[in-house]
Amino acid sequence: MALLSDHQHSSEMAFVFVLLLVLEGVSGATFTFVNKCDYTVWPGVLGKPDLGTTGFELSKGSSRSFQAPPGWSGRFWARTNCKFDDSGHGTCATGDCGSGGVACNGASASPPATLAEFTIDPAGSKDFYDVSLVDGYNLPMMVEANGGSGSCATTGCAADLIRRCPSELKADGGDACKSACDAFGKPEYCCNGDFGSPSTCRPSMYSEIFKSVCPKAYSYAYDDKTSTFTCAGADYTITFCPSSSPSLKSASIGVDAQQSVEQAAVATSSWIANLATSHSTSLHPSISLLLLLPLILIVSFS
């Protein structure tokens, strides 16, 4: 009888809580997905309570919105190069959730995939959100808060990290960039085992490459201080392949020169990362560094 009484009391309290939210006008948040890629993507959804979808098709130039209830928590990502038959069965080249269909049905993305993560406050106070590269990267993504109060910063990664991806992190097919954890499985990259705390797991040379290009996105598991954002009472727009204005630097030196600088930066960063993980060239480090000095100077002063 005591157990029954406790259950009834819990149910009554839950009902009262929901009623209070309704009376106070707490309505959660609207998520709007916008596809600015030159191709169709298939967003995946993992979270609770149910948004009414766990995966859908989003053609080039289109958008779609969903209402999230107060207290919703979960993640979004985009699947690319998907092939589904007329019955909706198929797979995707990146971000596949393993469900064998358009709906992910409670499964998350297979790395590498760019993730957008949210927790909507049940009382209408601070929402928490971020864009994460901890599981790797498969396309540019930006998150923008609309109509909220607080810092409400735009975050994400608009850069083409596949072009900047070190060769040892490139996924099969070359259409995604792995995290160092996914590529090597070492505890120091995965922040587990003896490296399972903020004091023992530090940024790696690989995560620093991601961070330098996308400073607002999570680059490793404990990258909280510069990568988690808050906003109260906002709606959110998640844009895949957001357009970005060319920087003054690229406009002044020309496209071809900019590409050469970027290629030099990738080569230099990859070599330094390899050196840190004992995969470097057979030359003595000091000699190799001297040989690469012109590349480093190009990147530093361009």
Domains of the chain: which residue ranges? 25-240, 248-301
Angle, vertex CA 55, rays to CA 51 and CA 58, nearest 5: 110
pLDDT at 27: 77
Contacts of 247 (CB under 8 A, 6+ apart): none
What's the sign of the alpha-carbon dihedral 213, 80, 36, 71?
negative
Q: Which residues are bridge partners to 30 per DSSP? A: 67
* Residue corresponding to tokens 């201080």: 225
pLDDT at 243: 79
Average pLDDT, the chain: 80
The amino acid sitting at 62 is S
* Residue corresponding to tokens 């290009």: 213
- What tens digit of pLDDT does each residue of 227-281 get? 999 999 999 999 999 975 333 223 322 333 333 334 434 444 443 444 344 433 3
3 state DSSP class of 89: strand
Q: Is-cis flag, bond preceding 112, omega within 30?
A: yes
pLDDT at 161: 95
Q: How far apart are CA 161 and CA 210, in angstroms?
A: 8
Domain 25-240, CATH class in plain words:
mainly beta
Higher pLDDT, 17 or 105: 105
pLDDT at 20: 40
Angle between helix axes 255-276 and 205-213 (nearest 10 degrees) is: 160
